């Protein structure tokens, strides 16, 4: 290794950038120097010449030693003693410390710094610095606290202290080895006789009731994150504008209280022309996002106008409830709503403009004076978007309550995307927090042999940590508050993400490290505060440290039948599946069971040019035939083959409803705590929701289910599958009569840092009481 490369590698190590990695096949890849230089630039580190590398390395080293405390640290809740690593000028003698708890209580003390254990020493520009271990006997309750250290009256440093429970919250439904099951659905895909061309929150309520009657305890959903109302065809729930806000296209417009009070809105909806539009939207095979957005916003505008006239101007109780919502959500909601108002305005001027980076320069900074003036001038438009979020939050909260009434536990199972669209609200609200010229992706794998670029900007680990993890904390709270379970997409991102610098290609990308223990502590803490089970999507290349860390804190693994096979290619017996896991046959990014059985996904990928050469397609075609045969043998070994079914030596066998049910019974027999059944698989659909590696070439995120809610309710196939799953995973007896709600008590108020330059704001929380919670 050359001296220049060695210096570059040291600089990368300081900033958490891996200089090499192993791919899914175990092969070692060294990242080219050009790729490392490009990734360092995303962290504002200049490594363009050997001289710049040396200067940057010296500067980073000096900053490290002059920083008396790291920005954050994780400790065990109620555990003492605990230690904090401090770096002090060697002249420091008396060290005073103060811990301010989240509640406002203060613990403090003073020590002779020379008596502290020394763990390091360095001279920076002639001055000596000593690294020592500060031992504190201050047991702290679960929460976010602040440690400060002083030399006399001189402040030396401050750190966020995350005091977390040792494990995430688990609901009583999983106590004593109990196992639950339920359907997974893309909410937009639901058909019904009453919706407006897209599945909505009322449809979801009916789904809850139908599957609770079948014995389900959990209902899985795609991310409900806010997308882009001005660009409704940008439909991927994994590329949202904001992870903190809801997609308002899921609103049931007619369920909003203001609809009942608005005669103009009712007349418009009852009109023959409007009803014809709704019928066409319902009948289309794919969700017509533009048509849905047009019809919904047409009526939502009328409802908002009526709300302002009847309630806001009169300061009615309903208006005060809206003001309370605004106050609770604070600046984060205001910035989101302001983004939406400006986005609509600039889109009206130039329909081709996409995202805030195409706005006038003076509006790209949310703290700019021009933005403040526009916010004041367009207050009613800003509050329109806050009103929509209020309505969406109310409808989703009601669904959480409905789960309690039905005895569904854990209940709603939501999904948190790995990042956001670079042109959306979250990046505009906090642009310095993201590496906007980089994208999250993956190195080469069997699905895309040149790697994947997801087009989503990663959060910068240095600024995320320095900001007290505010962005992540808000996203977790927003997605946990009404859920009984939360899936964290690409959970490996708690430890590392594969970054690809703009115009560099995945071949020049590498992994960037995050403070894994601190992020795990935050997840565990928010899991308890919101009484929410956590599932980590850990498919693909998963470092051993990630699996060990997730297991230690009680985050369920995510296992799919397709991938649970031994070294010889045989499907693992169900008994060999891990207990602390969610198991399913497939997921939205993979073939449905029927599509997999028929090889439909392989044919599609070939037609879309996703195979590098025909021989790769041919090999996977042969492999699939073997996999079908291996799965039939696994069913035979488990004595689950349907009556009259035999294993055909050729592997050519129709996937009958009975055989599909037997495959689900196979995974249902596993000890894994949670089983999800895709609605596409329950109905025998062959087309998958999303084809990775495509955008407009494939109808991603818009395909509806083949059956409506009404027809599903009378489906013998669905009823038989539900009966089989319920028998394999019976629900515990309800402890309260149907319709009873769990007791709720106020949760202790805690403070959550908002955006850069903003003040903290208390937010009250409430909690479902469940045995075994902390």
Of 544, 579, 586, 582, nearest to 562 by C-alpha is 586
Q: What pLDDT score was predicted for residue 379? A: 97
Determine the pLDDT at residue 1: 63
Spatial distance between the Cα atoms of 287 and 391, rounded to a whole number of angstroms? 22
What is the pLDDT confidence band of residue 275, given thresholds at 50, 70 and 90?
very high
pLDDT at residue 763 greater than cutoff 50: no
- The tens digit of pLDDT for each residue in 421-454 reads 999 999 999 999 999 999 999 987 665 667 889 9
pLDDT tier at 598, thresholds 50, 70, 90: very high
Distance CA(541)–CA(452), nearest Å, equals: 13
Would you say residue 165 has pLDDT above 80?
A: yes
CA distances from 369 to 26, 358, 366, 429, 433 (A): 53, 18, 9, 15, 21
Supply the DSSP string of 477-540, one letter for each residue: HHHHTT-SEEEETTGGGGTEEEEEETTT-GGG-EEEE--HHHHHHHHHHHHHHTT-EEEE---S
Residue 289 confidence (pLDDT) above 50: yes
Mean pLDDT value of segment 211-215: 97
Residue 573 clears pLDDT 50, i.e. is over it: yes
Q: By mean pLDDT, which of 21-35, 513-527, 568-582, 754-768 is the weakest?
A: 754-768
Q: Which residue blocks in 541-654 are alpha helix, DSSP H?
A: 544-552, 593-598, 600-607, 614-637
Q: In whole numbers, what is the pLDDT of the chain averaged over residues? A: 92
pLDDT at 353: 79
Contact 431, 359 (CB under 8 A): no
pLDDT for the residue numbered 753:
29
pLDDT surpassing 90 at residue 298: yes
- Predicted pLDDT at 351: 86
**Cα–Cα dist 560/184, whole Å:** 13
The neighbour count for residue 201, using CB atoms within 10 Å, is 21
Give percent above pLDDT 70 in the chain: 94
Closest to 727 (Cα-Cα) out of 127, 4, 214:
214
As beta bridge partners, residue 434 has: 459
Tell me which of 215-229, 374-388, 638-652, 695-709 is least confident. 638-652
Q: pLDDT tens, 705-750?
A: 999 999 999 999 999 999 999 999 998 765 544 443 333 323 333 3
Long-range contacts of 758-767 (CB under 8 A, 24+ apart): 758/331, 761/330, 761/331, 763/328, 763/329, 763/330, 764/328, 765/481, 765/529, 765/530, 767/529, 767/530, 767/531
Average pLDDT over residues 493-519: 95
Interacting residues of 631 by C-beta distance below 8 A, sequence separation 6+: 561, 571, 663
Q: What is the pLDDT of residue 449?
A: 66
Question: What pLDDT was estimated at residue 545?
Answer: 94
Cis peptide, bond prior to residue 155, ω within 30 of zero: no
Q: Can you give the pLDDT at residue 770?
A: 30
- Segment 642-664 mean pLDDT: 90
- Rounded Cα–Cα distance for residues 151 and 96 (Å): 6
651 confidence band (pLDDT: 50, 70, 90): low
SS3 of residue 671 by DSSP: coil
- Alpha-carbon gap, residue 574 to 664, rounded angstroms: 11
CA distance 337 to 296: 18
pTM: 0.93
3-state SS assignment for residue 395: helix
Residue 536 has pLDDT above 90, yes or no: yes
pLDDT at 446: 61
Considering only CA atoms, which of 376, 299, 304, 391 is closest in space to residue 342? 376
CB 28 within 8 A of CB 22: yes
Q: How many CB atoms lie within 10 A of CB 503?
A: 8
């Amino acid at each position: 290794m050359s001296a220049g490369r060695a210096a570059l590698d040291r600089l990368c190590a300081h900033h958490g950038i891996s200089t090499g990695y192993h791919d899914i096949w175990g092969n070692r890849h060294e990242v080219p120097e050009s790729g490392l230089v490009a990734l360092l630039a995303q962290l504002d580190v200049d490594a363009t010449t050997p001289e710049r590398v040396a200067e940057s390395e010296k500067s980073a080293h000096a900053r490290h030693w002059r920083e008396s405390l790291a920005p954050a640290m994780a400790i065990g809740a109620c555990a003492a003693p605990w230690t904090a690593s401090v770096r002090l000028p060697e002249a420091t003698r008396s060290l005073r410390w103060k811990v301010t708890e989240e509640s406002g209580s203060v613990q403090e003390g003073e020590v002779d710094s020379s008596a502290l254990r020394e763990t390091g020493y360095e001279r920076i520009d002639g001055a000596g610095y000593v690294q020592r271990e500060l031992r504190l006997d201050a047991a702290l309750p679960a929460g976010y606290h602040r440690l400060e250290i002083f030399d006399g009256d001189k402040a030396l440093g401050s750190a966020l202290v995350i005091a977390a429970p040792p494990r995430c919250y688990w609901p009583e439904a999983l106590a004593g080895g109990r196992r639950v099951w339920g359907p997974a659905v893309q909410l937009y895909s639901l058909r019904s006789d009453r919706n407006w061309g897209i599945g909505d929150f009322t449809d979801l309520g009916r789904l809850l009731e139908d599957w609770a009657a079948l014995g389900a305890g959990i209902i899985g959903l795609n991310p409900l994150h806010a997308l882009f109302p001005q660009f409704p065809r940008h439909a991927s729930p994994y590329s949202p504008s904001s992870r903190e806000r809801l997609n308002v296209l899921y609103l049931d417009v007619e369920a909003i209280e203001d609809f009942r009070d608005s005669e103009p809105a009712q007349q418009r909806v009852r009109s023959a022309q409007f009803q014809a539009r709704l019928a066409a939207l319902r009948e289309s095979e794919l969700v017509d996002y533009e048509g849905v957005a047009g019809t919904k916003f047409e009526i939502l505008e009328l409802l908002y106008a009526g709300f302002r006239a009847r309630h806001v101007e009169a300061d009615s109780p309903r208006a005060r409830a809206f003001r309370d919502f605004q106050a609770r959500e604070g600046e984060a909601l205001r910035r989101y709503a302001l983004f939406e108002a400006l986005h609509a305005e600039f889109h009206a001027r130039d329909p081709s403009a996409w995202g805030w980076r195409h706005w006038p320069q003076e509006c790209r900074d949310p703290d700019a004076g021009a933005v403040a003036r526009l916010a004041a001038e367009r207050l009613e438009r800003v509050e329109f978007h806050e009103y929509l979020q209020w309505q969406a939050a109310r409808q989703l909260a009601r669904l959480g309550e409905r789960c309690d009434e039905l005895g569904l536990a854990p209940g709603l199972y939501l999904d948190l995307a790995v990042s956001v669209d670079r042109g959306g609200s979250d990046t505009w609200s906090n642009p310095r927090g993201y590496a906007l010229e980089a994208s999250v992706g993956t190195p080469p794998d069997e699905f895309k042999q040149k790697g994947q670029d997801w087009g989503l900007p990663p959060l910068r680990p240095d600024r995320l940590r320095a900001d007290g993890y505010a962005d992540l904390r808000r996203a977790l709270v927003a997605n946990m508050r009404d859920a009984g379970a939360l899936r964290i997409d690409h959970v490996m991102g708690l430890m590392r993400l594969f970054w690809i610098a703009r115009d560099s290609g995945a071949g020049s990308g590498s992994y960037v490290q995050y403070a894994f223990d601190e992020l795990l502590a935050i997840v565990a803490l928010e899991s308890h505060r919101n009484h929410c089970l956590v599932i980590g999507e850990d498919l693909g290349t998963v470092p051993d440290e990630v699996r060990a860390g997730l297991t230690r804190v009680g985050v369920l693994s995510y296992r799919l039948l397709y991938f649970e096979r031994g070294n010889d290619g045989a499907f693992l017996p169900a008994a060999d599946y891990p207990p602390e896991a969610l198991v399913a046959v497939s997921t939205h990014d993979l073939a449905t069971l029927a599509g997999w059985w028929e090889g439909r996904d392989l044919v599609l990928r070939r037609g879309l040019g996703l195979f590098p050469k025909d021989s790769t397609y041919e090999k996977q075609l042969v492999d699939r035939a073997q996999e079908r045969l291996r799965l039939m043998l696994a069913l035979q070994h488990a004595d689950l083959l349907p009556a009259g079914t035999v294993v055909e030596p050729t592997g050519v066998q129709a996937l009958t409803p009975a055989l599909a049910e037997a495959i689900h019974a196979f995974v249902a027999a596993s000890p894994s705590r949670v089983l999800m059944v895709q609605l596409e698989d329950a109905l025998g659909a062959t087309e998958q929701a999303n084809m990775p590696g495509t955008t407009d070439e494939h109808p991603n995120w818009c395909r509806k289910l083949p059956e409506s809610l009404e027809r599903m309710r009378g489906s013998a196939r669905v009823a038989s599958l539900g009966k089989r799953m319920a028998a394999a995973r019976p629900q515990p007896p309800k402890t309260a009569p149907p319709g009873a709600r769990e007791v709720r008590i106020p949760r202790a108020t805690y403070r959550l840092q908002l955006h850069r330059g903003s003040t903290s704001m208390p937010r009250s929380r409430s909690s479902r009481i469940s045995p075994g919670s902390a």
